[in-house]
A and B are shown apart, each in its own frame.
Chain A
Amino acid sequence: MSNYLESANQILNKIIALYSNIALMMGELKTIEFSDIYLLLIRWVFPVLAVTIFVRCVLPLLRSEPYNTVWGYLQVPDSIKIPLQHWENSIGRSKLSDIVINLPFVSRTHAVLSFSAGTWSVFDLGSKGGVLVNDERIVKSKTVKDGDTISLAGAEFRLLAPEDGPEQQENPAAWFSRFSHHFSSGKTLFMIFLFQFLGGIQIYFSMGQDANPKLLGIFLAFILLEASYFLFMMTYTRKYIELELLAFFLCGINLFVVASAVPDQIAKQLIAIVCGIAVFIALGLLIRDLGRARKLKYVFVFGALVLLVLNLTIGEVRFGAKNWINLGFMSFQPMELIKVAFVMAGTATLDKLLTTRNITAFIGFAGACIGALILMRDLGTAVVFFAAFLVIAFMRSGDLRTIAYACSGAVLGAIAVVSFLPYVASRFEAWGRVWEYANTIGYQQTRTLIAAASGGVLGVGGGNGFLVNIPAAANDLVFGLVCEEWGLIVALITVLIILFFAVLAVSLMRECKSPFYAIAACGAAAIFLVQAALNVFGSVDLLPLTGITLPFVSNGGTSMVTSWALLAFIKAADDRGRPDREGVGD
């Protein structure tokens, strides 16, 4: 019995001790500012919001489309109707054809049926048996009208337009869609507003006496911009909006980073975001028509070549690389913009893709870009271009051997570059053992790791970090900056969103209208991926530090505009309509 009393007494003592502690704390509370309490509570909100926003955007986008748009039918006489689900459909004996005809006299890739500006055409891909339209042998290509017969080496079909405009067909894997159907885009957008507004207030508080109310204005203006984009798109289009929501989220992080590291550049950065969104919309409209997109490709490549020459002649050197052009009223990085043209240059329509394996022109353009980058001493960007080149070249040719040759050539080239340029060699020297060179060549990486560790899972609060004092923190070390101020979870979500852009591009392939969009989307995805890898892993010493920007997140106007432009390619590959927006015009 005395034992129990003893324990009860001990517990009572403990409670009294605890309460006296709290009482002491209450005494101290008088000296605590409102902003302290704000951060204490709000820092738990950011990771939760970030994860929720990520999940709510990703699930609807990954869903398997319940309906496939059918643009027309191929009728086998007295038999089935084969739906045409893409703008460009390959026909042949090969298992990888969109329409497989297992007859011995049909070639492996026999013909392409393509739909452009409301009319269908058939292309003969140099088949042995030939293609006949209404019993007339065609040379290369011919327009086909509703009701015409197409004969592939004797196999006859009749082209039929869909009864009532493009038709939708039920897809069996619809259960997943119904599950993710419940996420409303509006609520997700509201969470993004909340994230950005609360974060803006936190940074405002962190500035103490120097706080400028203009900062809050910038965040409000950005939220307004997002809201109007959302309202416009929800009213006038039938496409998903989650892709843009994710990009908005990243732009919000970008504004946090700029507000914390270089507050006087934040207005400029907001303008860059506005330009980026404008480019995103414009590019999307321009490439919507396949014929126009093909012409645009040549304009872009020409423009890129002009920029390339300009950069090499009147370019300015900043941070050791000659990759800036100063126009007096503004300066920009031409190589960023050239990325967009580079992706365009790699694209091809299905008939070209299947007939010519020749990609010499593209190789030439890639060589020019990469060569110029090495001359400019911008090796990180050269790696980005090379990786995009590999992906696009593989998409075009499907030839692993060529890719392997190109890679081994590049490795040899890289070794040569590293041994000739001491400044590159020093980065390799620090790689993997930055702590040994913590105050010399490992300076930026160790500071990034220290900052990331200081942030913990929740972060020390926007504007409270010290990494901002390190040169290029808002560009090259931006992952560490986000990690320090907003916590590990928000930083990881940021990178995961960029990864998701690539995964989305891949998942869109099957439903894609034309290889043109497919290749562009994958090219853009490759650039996003390699930039994210070089930026994040470079700053945390998993790769050598290269000074590449993190798409959407790093400070910089040209980088922001380019990120949006590249995103337009991924958006263009997505032709699905929102289930709640059936019947609204395109």
Chain B
Amino acid sequence: MKLLTRRALVVLVLSIIILLGLVIFTIGYIRDASTWVTHASNRHLYTNAQLMETGTIYDRKGEILFQTRDGAKKYHDNKTVRTAVLHTIGDTNDNIATGAQVAFKEKLTGWNIVSGAYRFNQRLSHFKNDLHLTLDADVCMTAYNALKGRKGTVGVYNYKTGEILCMVSSPSFDPENPPDVQADPVKFEGVYINRLLSATYTPGSAFKLVTAAAAIDNLEDIDTRIYHCDGKTNIDGVMVTCPTPHGDVSFEQALAHSCNVAFAEAILSLGASNLQDYSDMAGFNSSLMVDGIRTAAGKVNVSDAAGGDLAWAGIGQYDNTANPLCFMAYVGSIANEGVSVSPGILKGNIFSALIKPVTGKKRILSEETAEKLGNMMRKNVIDVYGEGNYQGLKLCAKSGTAQVGEDKAPHAWFVGYMDREDCPLAFVVVVENGGSGSKVAGPVAEKVLRSAVNSMN
């Protein structure tokens, strides 16, 4: 029988091939089942190609932002709110890939790989499938109105808990009346992109917050040093300029007045590798996960830069880019004594409330550095942006006016936070080709923050 035992191995080989086939199917199943299940012919989820009742999406105060009724999708009653939260909620045709309708599809439809499309009971599934967001519809509406149709984005989050209160991207549209986007490609440029999560912009002077952190930690005479600005300086043939000469300035004044010449000098003494390290630490060159939604990654690469290029990189030009949300998270860490709390859009449950303090926190700056930087940002507001403009907010901020080409107006940035125990909010405002950071983006931030303070009290 030894002979046949050997020949019978052919059957064993056949079995192994089929076992491999089963493994391939199972891998495919784990990878793609979530796609298969959403086919419109699936009667577990759809009737007459219309999605059956899904979970309802609420804002932090219980406003209904999205629901399905009789197979039709319904959004908020107010058109402006609908438009303002469009990029968070997503549109009816799922064009907005980071919208909750796509990103939390499994949760909303009640499908998951373990339970499949099984729902215990239609009535009960209301609770199970509902989505409670940290978003505040009123703040979003204020932000959208403040942008006045200009392209850009506004983000506000609680730097202690990570809850995102405001996430607005413009241009936008009313999801109950979707426009013909093709008809006006200029007006609707990138309309399906959530600019807070998925865009990257040249940061301009706002980036000086990263350079300043490196300088505070690594330049010993930073508190006493006086820089001299003639309005321009020549570094190996590359000109670094200021709009006007600043004369003799301390480092603190250099940040407040955004003196490029002084910063260029500081950057050259820091060196490329220092700058690279602090950029990476501040979240550049990597993306954040906002409840499973991946943001775009900003970029700082100064490994090949030297002299004038390095100087421009340190003041947020060169080929640096920043993602608004990631940058807001960095500013939040300055506010939160150097500890970054990862921003989230879903209201937590008990479990996540227990787990988040452990997993969602990361120290980025030392407590002293964060405090120094924070004081400098507070001085910026008092000395330059005008405390009167932001009365009562206890604002700490930095503006940015990012040059994006000869014939285009610069992007206006305004980032910062409120140093208030009752309203621990950090924010970012970007107005594309808006002009001066503090003059254009600043007032937007002011309106949004006031609305947020009202909402929180």
Which residue on A lies nearest to B2, using beta carbons?
Answer: A96
Verify A454–B11 contact, CB threshold 8 A.
no
User: What are the residues of chain A within 8 A of B12 when measuring CB–CB?
Assistant: 502-503, 506
Per-residue interface assignment for chain B, residues 19 to 36, with 1 indicating a CB less than 8 Å from any chain A CB and 0 otherwise: 101101110010011101
Verify B1–A529 contact, CB threshold 8 A.
no
B224 located at the interface, meaning its Cβ lies under 8 Å from any Cβ of chain A in the complex: no
Given A522-B11, A529-B11, verify A453-B120 contact (CB < 8 Å).
Answer: no
Verify A98–B349 contact, CB threshold 8 A.
no
Sample (24) of A-B pairs whose CB atoms are under 8 Å apart? A11-B350, A11-B353, A14-B353, A15-B350, A18-B350, A24-B127, A28-B123, A394-B7, A446-B39, A447-B41, A457-B114, A457-B116, A461-B118, A488-B26, A492-B22, A499-B19, A503-B15, A505-B8, A510-B1, A511-B1, A529-B18, A530-B14, A533-B18, A542-B24
Cα distance A506–B12 in the bound complex, in angstroms = 7
Verify B15–A529 contact, CB threshold 8 A.
yes
User: What are the residues of chain B within 8 A of A532 when measuring CB–CB?
Assistant: 18
Verify A454–B117 contact, CB threshold 8 A.
yes
Verify A458–B114 contact, CB threshold 8 A.
yes
User: What are the residues of chain B within 8 A of A452 when measuring CB–CB?
Assistant: 29, 33, 36
B9 located at the interface, meaning its Cβ lies under 8 Å from any Cβ of chain A in the complex: yes
Listed in ascending order, the chain A residues whose CB lies under 8 Å from chain B are 7, 10-11, 14-15, 18, 21, 24-25, 28, 31-32, 36, 39-40, 43, 86, 90, 95-98, 387, 391, 394-395, 398, 438-439, 446-447, 449-450, 452-461, 464, 466, 484, 487-488, 492, 495-496, 499, 502-503, 505-506, 509-512, 515, 518-519, 522, 525-526, 529-530, 532-533, 536-537, 540, 542
Given A97-B2, A438-B39, verify A502-B14 contact (CB < 8 Å).
Answer: yes
Kindly list 6 other residue pairs between chains A and B, CB separation below 8 angstroms, not including A453-B36, A466-B44, A487-B116: A43-B118, A458-B116, A488-B26, A503-B12, A503-B15, A529-B11
Verify B2–A14 contact, CB threshold 8 A.
no
Q: Looking at the assembled complex, report how far the CB atom of A64 sits from the nearest CB atom of chain B, in whole angstroms.
A: 13
Q: Looking at the assembled complex, report how far the CB atom of B7 sits from the nearest CB atom of chain A, in whole angstroms.
A: 5
Cα distance A532–B15 in the bound complex, in angstroms = 10
Verify A25–B124 contact, CB threshold 8 A.
yes
Cross-chain contact of B124 among A28, A394, A460 (Cβ < 8 A):
A28
- Chain B contact residues, majority secondary structure: helix
Verify A506–B3 contact, CB threshold 8 A.
no
B5 located at the interface, meaning its Cβ lies under 8 Å from any Cβ of chain A in the complex: yes
- How many Cβ-Cβ contacts under 8 Å join chain A to chain B? 176
Cα distance A518–B17 in the bound complex, in angstroms = 21
B42 located at the interface, meaning its Cβ lies under 8 Å from any Cβ of chain A in the complex: yes
Cross-chain contact of A519 among B4, B19, B121, B353 (Cβ < 8 A):
B4
B43 located at the interface, meaning its Cβ lies under 8 Å from any Cβ of chain A in the complex: yes
Cα distance A21–B124 in the bound complex, in angstroms = 11
Which residue on A lies nearest to B12, using beta carbons?
Answer: A506
B113 located at the interface, meaning its Cβ lies under 8 Å from any Cβ of chain A in the complex: yes
Given A90-B3, A533-B21, verify A453-B353 contact (CB < 8 Å).
Answer: no
User: What are the residues of chain A within 8 A of B353 when measuring CB–CB?
Assistant: 10-11, 14
Cross-chain contact of B8 among A10, A395, A449 (Cβ < 8 A):
A395
Q: Looking at the assembled complex, report how far the CB atom of A46 sits from the nearest CB atom of chain B, in whole angstroms.
A: 12
Given A505-B11, A512-B1, verify A449-B36 contact (CB < 8 Å).
Answer: yes
Which residue on A lies nearest to B18, using beta carbons?
Answer: A533
Verify B26–A459 contact, CB threshold 8 A.
no
User: What are the residues of chain B within 8 A of A512 when measuring CB–CB?
Assistant: 1, 4
Verify B349–A398 contact, CB threshold 8 A.
no
Cα distance A16–B6 in the bound complex, in angstroms = 69
Verify B26–A454 contact, CB threshold 8 A.
no
